[in-house]
Structure 1
């Protein structure tokens, strides 16, 4: 009798365990496999993985294409920036050459004045004003010596600058000036000074008994020369385009 009861108890326990295991399996299948069989779910997951990989490859291709376009734009901008910088530097150079830029640098300062006043022979006549061609000769010597910028009494000297006697004044760029004349020149100070002070040169000529002018030449580490203030207009000269033969 005891054996039968024990067997019935064991059988009942086995039935309960079987029911519990079946319920747990069903729950796991519903929660983790979406109710589908393991093989079917594996196929679905593999298909989804393949789709995700394809989407990733497509996105990577798009990213690479965009990076290529960005690189092309950056290279184009870089070339454009170099071109603009080169053009700006070239334009700035020609502005300096034409006198349209205020400049500074080492050079010499030359002061030319009339002879000391002699009370016995006082005169209102200015020697240097009536011999202003000496100023032109001095400027030519500075240009020959490599002067990069020149001014006379704060008037920038350019190719269009006129120096002429007008009444009791010397006009420079149409501006009336009078002695003393202060000529500033930017360039190699030693070369400029040597060109002016050479024996029997322009300074000796100015200081000779014929003119007896007061002339001083001083080297300076920094000289500031103003820009040319007149408006440059060309009525007759026109550019010529070079044609290949």
Structure 2
């Protein structure tokens, strides 16, 4: 009688590897936090306070009405602008990816937007839109729209032409083939563009507010920096970083779920 053997080691190894992969970002963050705390405790530079002091300052900063107002103003600028940017970026990218004349017309401006230092455009936007939300929205668009266009165009151009030809051979109209074949095939790169655009939207809003220096979290960073309130300054920067990471991770989770659903 032959004994039946089992090999539980492979599933166990796989589960341990998954646990390690999940724990690795946490370990990295804890290591960075420990190094930050150590450097702060050594008092090597007044510009690097201990992380514990920054976390303590966070409670006071978050309770301040100025911070709450600034966070709301920045959030409104990003949220109001982001959805139209995604829609406009998909439309322009789809046009450039499917129509050679649209690509020829838009390629020089897209290359210019990707290569020019966008900070240099902020004074121009200030002259046009003034020292208010209009300039901030214009900067967010300038920072995030090119990423959406490039990713959408690349996604559409990567579609398998054989699938598209087969759909047309079966009598699918141009719009039906675009909706049923092109968009699903390009969705991965389009969603990646949404993730990139989300991070760049937050970055653009903060940079514009710093230059204007009057509103939002960027303006608050300027005030804390000018007053040498180092702990409060790091508290705001850490908050912005955490929000950015959370937003990008949430979009990434939706992207993975969408890919699995396909």
Fold equivalence (TM over 0.5): no
The structure with the greater share of residues assigned to strand is 1
Structure with bigger helix share is 2
TM-score by length of 2: 0.19
Instruction: Name which one, 1 or 2, has greater alpha-carbon Rg.
Output: 1
TM-score, with normalisation over the residues of structure 1? 0.21
